[in-house]
Amino acid sequence: MGNTIVPRVNHNYAVDAYGTVNSSNVGIWSNWAKYGANQQQWVIKD
């Protein structure tokens, strides 16, 4: 197992990986109009 990437503000959101190699993309649902940049900040959680 490893670390988990979670949004800094709301840890109930989850990321979804698109690809299986280094530098693959990840995605998350986000309502920019409501939450703004707060939902775009990430932390690594052990």
pTM for the full model?
Answer: 0.25
* pLDDT tens for each residue of 1-46: 456 666 666 656 666 666 677 777 766 655 555 555 555 566 666 6
pLDDT of residue 8: 65
Buried/exposed code over 17-36 (b: 16+ C-beta within 10 A; e: otherwise): eeeeeeeeeeeeebeeeeee
pLDDT of residue 1: 45
Domain boundary assignment for the chain: 4-35
pLDDT of residue 36: 54
**Token digits of residue 1:** 């197992």
**Cβ neighbours, 10 Å, residue 7:** 19
Alpha-carbon span 45 to 28, nearest angstrom? 16
pLDDT of residue 35: 52
Extract the runs of DSSP E, i.e. beta strands, from 1-46: 4-7, 16-18, 25-27, 42-45
**Token digits of residue 30:** 């986000």
